Amino acid sequence: MITMSMREVNEIINRRQEEVDRIREVGNLMTSLFELYANQQPLTVEREGRRQHIPLVNAAGEIVQRLIESYRNAQPLL
């Protein structure tokens, strides 16, 4: 029989939830990237209280950079 404390169980659950959140974030970023190319429109973002249009190539580059950072920050599963 395997026994675990509630603390150990909660740690495992938290790690799994972090992984699910990271996968969801990556999925959202990939969706944004595909939408950019499908729409062929500049990305409009709000920065410093102003709306800015980011050219397609720059927007794609920003999204890819966020994807890379997401993978770098990922913690391996158990």
Per the CB < 8 A criterion, the answer to whether 18 and 75 are in contact is: yes
State yes or no: pLDDT of 76 exceeds 60.
no
Per-residue pLDDT of 9-39, as tens digits, reads 899 899 888 888 888 888 888 888 788 777 7
Question: What's the number of CA atoms in the CB half-sphere (13 Å) around residue 65?
Answer: 6
Neighbours of 63 (CB within 10 A): 20
Instruction: Tell me 45's DSSP state.
Output: E
Residues 41-65 have pLDDT tens digits of 777 777 788 888 777 777 778 888 8
Q: What is the token pair recorded at 5?
A: 């404390």
| pTM score, whole prediction | 0.54
Cross-strand bridge partners of residue 72: none
